[in-house]
Amino acid sequence: MAELMIPSIGEIPSFEQIKPELADWRNGVVIRTPNWLGDAVMAIPAILQLKRMMPEFAGLFVVAPAPLAALFEALPFVDLVIPLADAHAFMSRKERNKVRSLAAGICVLFNNSFRDALSLKMCRIPKLYGANARFRKFLLHRTFDFPPRLDFTLNSPHQAAKYLSIVQAMGAEPWDGVMPEFKEHVYPETLSENVVAALNTDRPILALAAGAAYGSAKRWHTGSFREVCRRKLGEGCRIIMLGGKSERAAAAEIINGLDEKECFNLAGETGIHELIYVLKHASGCLANDSGVMHLAAGIGTPGVAPFGPTDPVATSPLSKQWRIVFEKRDCSPCFKRVCPYGTKACFDPVTPELVCDALSTVMKQKN
């Protein structure tokens, strides 16, 4: 039987602490974020701790994929966000010129890309910090070695712990476990009619994210999501389906035939600012190991996450208000985008009953 796990980032890797000199900061720090929403959320504690150690005159500038720009614009301690039109290509001359004009003295790369290290070096940033990966060591002022990820085993350290270890090696204090408050960028009068209607209720709202951009293997069984919806509707909840445009049909399938007055499909209808707003108003969230899971946890919405082919030790949500439902099997975590056997049997021990009970527990924390 699957067990309930309380998320933890575990031990932070330890590296020699070498603080930048005051002159090293110049006008500030450039952060190159990860490309995925979930990884970007897991980097926020490290970015926050870096900001807390920076001299007052230094700015904190974020370079992020355009779809993630809104996430960092919602953080009050970020001074400027430079969106990348294509995060999987070399930065354009215009983008490099924007970064160069900041006259930053330090750059921290929270991804493993050689291409990004070279692009940012071309922006004339003197000192780059990041993981030792993809033959880019000669481009960086200081690199950090982390163990390779192994299939079929639970890996540590947690991804957030890796990011934190880099900034702690630069002199940042340990993180206190408290995520920053996200700024409100949308207001009721700016929301679509569908979003307003979905939130217009006195019932507890359960947000569901049944998709996962990485691949179908990470998605808990559709029938199991549907059974949770049926049970929670019976307990007086309202259901709001969330996700991207590509997940709208799957979301519709889950709530098809259920109470139309209490089930709303907002998949593909919310940008990050609207997604933050909806999740803040939810009493709980049920999500696969996905960007929505990490975002909901990051803004303080309690929830439950079924884990199957991915690693709850390495990528658990950053909140003790969440519960992970997982059973270690010989074939998991395999980290495959599509189940090699076509069965997704690693999810079989994760039953709707276990998930519903866990949801009832965590949702009491917000109601």
- pLDDT of 42 > 90? The answer is yes
Give 29's contacts (C-beta < 8 A, 6+ positions apart): 50, 54, 58, 59, 60, 61, 104, 105, 106, 107, 108
Same domain, 135 and 209: no
Same domain, 58 and 153: yes
Q: Name which residue leads in pLDDT, 3 or 197.
A: 197
- pLDDT of 27 > 90? The answer is yes
Give the mean pLDDT of 240-245: 96
- pLDDT of 68 > 90? The answer is yes
C-alpha closest to that of 28 among 70, 66, 74, 82:
82
- pLDDT of 326 > 70? The answer is yes
For residue 213, give the CATH number of its domain: 3.40.50.2000
Same domain, 260 and 162: no
Give the mean pLDDT of 277-286: 97
Same domain, 315 and 273: yes
Query: Which pLDDT score is estimated for 185?
Result: 79
C-beta of residue 78 within 8 angstroms of C-beta of residue 60: yes
Residue whose entry in the numeric block shows the structure tokens 């951009």: 213
Share of the chain above pLDDT 90, in %: 94
52 within a domain of the structure (yes/no): yes
Query: Which pLDDT score is estimated for 10?
Result: 97
Query: Which pLDDT score is estimated for 150?
Result: 95
Query: Which pLDDT score is estimated for 367?
Result: 58
pLDDT tens digits, 253-269: 999 999 999 999 999 99
Q: How many structural domains are present in the chain?
A: 2
277 within a domain of the structure (yes/no): yes
Query: Which pLDDT score is estimated for 365?
Result: 77
Query: Which pLDDT score is estimated for 96?
Result: 98
- Name the domain boundary from 116, 142, 169: 169
Give the mean pLDDT of 5-14: 97
Query: Which pLDDT score is estimated for 19?
Result: 98
Same domain, 109 and 231: no
Residues making up the chain, counted from first to last: 367
pLDDT tens digits, 116-129: 999 999 999 999 99
> Average model confidence (pLDDT) for the chain?
96
Domain that holds residue 209: 188-363
Same domain, 41 and 128: yes
Same domain, 312 and 232: yes
Q: How confident is the model at residue 190 (pLDDT cuts 50, 70, 90)?
A: confident
Same domain, 121 and 202: no
